[in-house]
Amino acid sequence: MSHIALHRREPAQPDPALRAFAADVQAGLSAAQKNLPAKYFYDRRGSELFEQICELPEYYPTRTEIGLLRRHGRDIAKLIGPEAEIVEFGAGALVKIRLLLDALNRPRGFLPIDISGAHLSDAAAELMRDHPGLDVRVVAGDFTAPDLKLPERLPGAQCRAGFFPGSTIGNFTPEEALGFLRGAARMLGEGDTGNSGLLIGVDLVKDPALLHAAYNDAAGVTAAFNRNLLRRINRELGGDFVLERFAHYAFYQPRQQRIEMHLVSLAAQSVRIGGRRYDFAAGESIHTENSYKYTLSGFHKLAEQAGFRPTAVWTDPDSLFSLHWLALG
């Protein structure tokens, strides 16, 4: 008598990152002030739109920071030292790391970390073609996650230096920024035998008119970037947002020294995501991003609380933006 074994196929388990995305969307849209975490802006399309934002005439941070890296590259390289391994948090398109690598003395390796793995892999492949002797190890993941582990330090690397450009630190609340800096200090300091530290870009407090122009560009690219988050929810979570029913809205909040970015519902409406319904009143908003601005002394105080020692700072002539070298130990 023959026997045929029947193998039941287990249902595919959802991607943990997708589960986390769904949970964060559900929690955020169920809150009294609806909100969505800014880290979810950066799918492939969102990353492309952000690159376009960085080229806009109103958006001063990118060109100002690039100018600082070019102008002070030698001084930065002296502080980091030779044969360093660089860890870039929120690496994105890997534009600014090229300036740093060109300035450094015999860099040993590069660890780019970004939540948009596909976008990062494309950029890393291009970087490796241009720097064939550089050991590049891509880390696709959320650099704010407490369980994020970095690969072992490369043999022969004299230090592990962090790189966090673009004033992304401003997307965190002060409490979150402190948590990130403490985590970065811990990761960068593991097995430290040299000049480990963090090179970080920080946007400064300035005339609100400059900030309003930067986050409400005439070409509407920032508005498209903001709405793309709803498009991502539709695509990945089965939502039915109608993008044209939500308006981009960004403004400076002087007491908290931050830009707030929102998506405002243009009418009373309901949206369904994964079988759940979310109701919006006309004029109700989803808070999608904060961008905190700092004074130099205020940021140094925060860095010291996290265990860093502010060693050097570079600013442009108009004091729009700043680069800081935060040493460990």
Distance in angstroms between the alpha carbons of the first and the last residue of the chain: 75
Q: What is the pLDDT of residue 116?
A: 67
Q: What is the mean pLDDT of residues 64-79?
A: 96
pLDDT digits (tens, 9 = 90+) for 187-231: 888 766 567 999 999 999 999 999 999 999 999 999 999 999 999
pLDDT of 6 above 70: no
Residue 68 pLDDT greater than 50, yes or no: yes
Exposed / middle / buried, residue 323 (Cβ in 10 Å: 0-12, 13-18, 19+): buried
Confidence of residue 14 (pLDDT cuts 50, 70, 90): low
Contact at 8 Å (CB) between 162 and 188? yes
| CA torsion angle 304 306 312 314 (round to 10) | -110
* Residue 268: CB atoms within 10 Å: 11
| CATH code for the part of the protein at 60-206+293-328 | 3.40.50.150
Amino acid at position 2, single letter: S
pLDDT of residue 298: 97
- Mean pLDDT for 146-150 is 80
- Residues 204/167, Cβ–Cβ less than 8 Å: no
Half-sphere exposure of 172 (CA within 13 A, CB side): 17
For 161-189, the pLDDT digits (tens) are 999 999 999 999 999 999 999 999 988 88
The Cα–Cα gap between 328 and 307 comes to: 7
- List, for residues 269-308, the tens digit of each pLDDT value: 999 999 999 999 999 999 999 999 999 999 999 999 999 9
Average per-residue pLDDT in the chain? 91
Q: What is the pLDDT of residue 216?
A: 97
Q: Tell me the range of 85-89, 94-98, 147-151 where mean pLDDT is highest.
A: 85-89
Q: How sure is the predictor about 119, in pLDDT bands with cuts at 50, 70 and 90?
A: low
Q: What pLDDT was estimated at residue 7?
A: 38
Separation of alpha carbons 194 and 307, rounded Å: 16
pLDDT given for residue 193 in this prediction = 58
Instruction: Give the pLDDT confidence score for residue 53 in this predicted structure.
Output: 96
Question: Is residue 131 predicted with pLDDT exceeding 60?
Answer: yes
What is the Cα–Cα distance from 52 to 248, expressed in whole angstroms? 17
Instruction: Please give the full DSSP string across 3-58, using - where no structure is assigned.
Output: -----PPPPPPPPHHHHHHHHHHHHHHHSSS-B--GGGG-SHHHHHHHHHHHTSTT
Question: Counting Cβ atoms within 10 Å, is residue 260 exposed (0-12), middle (13-18) or buried (19+)?
Answer: middle
Domain residue ranges of the chain, discontinuous segments joined by +: 16-56+209-292, 60-206+293-328
**pLDDT score of 3 more than 50:** no
Res 159: pLDDT = 87
